[in-house]
Structure 1
Amino acid sequence: MHEVSIMESTMNIISEKARENDLKVISKITIKIGELSGVMPDALTFAFNSLSRGTIAEGAEFLIERVDATAMCDECGIIFEIDHFNKLCPKCNKFSANILSGYELYVNTIEGE
């Protein structure tokens, strides 16, 4: 379950940004997770609930925004949705290695006072 180590790193980022911005309480955290990242949102939420206890983020709203996986066809230039197993352009049926999104994993916003 690598989500625990991901959340440990995330909690370090949150704590560092809270110190930099003189925040005493974190009320909301938004994470972006790409469809192809391999991160399980439920496991990440569970890790957050466990690791935030006793921190300035305890009780904070924890939101996960999913990012669709997309690619751009090198042949015809269209942008289309992909998954782990299918990266074929729906227009010309050529394989695309030009992945535009889907591997994201980052803290998008931190709100607090």
Structure 2
Amino acid sequence: MLMHEVSIIENTIKIVQEKAKENNLKNVSKITIKIGELSGVMSESLEFAFQGMSKGTIVEDAKLLIEKVDAKALCDDCNITFEIDHFNKLCPNCNKFSTNILSGYELYVSTIEGE
């Protein structure tokens, strides 16, 4: 497992604990994290880290949902939105390289559910 994922889960648990306290939640049942395709984060490693690190915390029994965010760019010439990956950021219409990345690098806690 990568240390990157461990620190992400560590920070996620901290964020959730703070928000739970602010909103008077006694337990957290579900946490949703959004992760962009280009972020380099491995979902399986996050889930594994969460299982170990959530023990003894308010999120111990919570379900961790990981939502993938597609990588997309906008062509400045054609004004179309298209899917990209790490290696290909060329507009499928005009074949020009796009630097206008709209999504794919996300990494954040999206929702927290609890009582």
CA shift for structure 1 position 34: 0.2
CA shift for structure 1 position 73: 0.4
CA shift for structure 1 position 86: 0.1
Q: 1:10 corresponds to which residue?
A: 12
Q: Secondary structure at the match of 2:32?
A: strand
1:111 aligned residue (100, 105, 113): 113
State the percentage of identical aligned residues: 72
Q: TM-score, normalised by structure 1?
A: 0.98
Whole-Å separation in 1 of the counterparts to 2:48 and 2:73: 31
Whole-Å separation in 2 of the counterparts to 1:46 and 1:23: 25
Q: 2:99 corresponds to which residue?
A: 97
Q: Which runs of 5+ in 2 are unaligned?
A: none
Aligned CA-pair RMSD: 0.5
Tell me the matched-pair count: 113
Q: Secondary structure at the match of 2:113?
A: strand
Q: 1:24 corresponds to which residue?
A: 26
Q: Which runs of 5+ in 1 are unaligned?
A: none
Q: Any idea what the Cα deviations from partners look like across 1:67-103, whole Å, max 9, x if unmatched?
A: 0000000111100000000000000000000000000
Large movers: runs of 4+ above 4 Å = none
Whole-Å separation in 2 of the counterparts to 1:112 and 1:59: 11
CA shift for structure 1 position 110: 0.3
Give the AA of the match of 1:6.
I
Give the AA of the match of 1:66.
K
CA shift for structure 1 position 59: 1.6
